[in-house]
């Protein structure tokens, strides 16, 4: 795991269990797609992750975890 990944993990761990579980799922899904031999648009995948994490951040700020 790169240092930027570690910083991101620490930042998102403050969002709660939902974010941690989502990031674990995304890591596994990214690896699966990269190894599938099919076309994989990583940029769009990353944008989708950012969108969900933004929503999780808003929910965490509102007291939801």
DSSP-assigned states of every residue in 2-64? -HHHHHHHHHHHTT-HHHHHHHHHHHHHHHHHHTSSS---HHHHHHHHHHHHHHHHHHHHTT-
pLDDT computed for residue 20 by the predictor: 87
pLDDT tens digits, 8-22:
666 666 778 888 899
Query: Cβ atoms within 10 A of the Cβ of 49, count?
Result: 17
Which two three-digit tokens encode residue 44?
Answer: 């769009």
pTM of the predicted model, to two decimals?
0.74
Domain boundaries defined on the chain? 3-61
Tens of pLDDT, residue by residue over 29-64, are 999 999 999 999 999 999 999 999 999 888 888 887
């Amino acid at each position: 795991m790169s240092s930027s990944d570690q910083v991101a993990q620490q930042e998102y761990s403050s969002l709660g269990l939902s974010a941690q579980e989502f990031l674990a799922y995304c890591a596994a899904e990214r690896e699966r797609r990269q190894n599938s031999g099919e076309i994989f648009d990583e940029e769009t995948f990353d944008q989708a992750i950012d969108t969900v994490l933004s929503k999780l951040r808003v929910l965490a700020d509102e007291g939801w975890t």
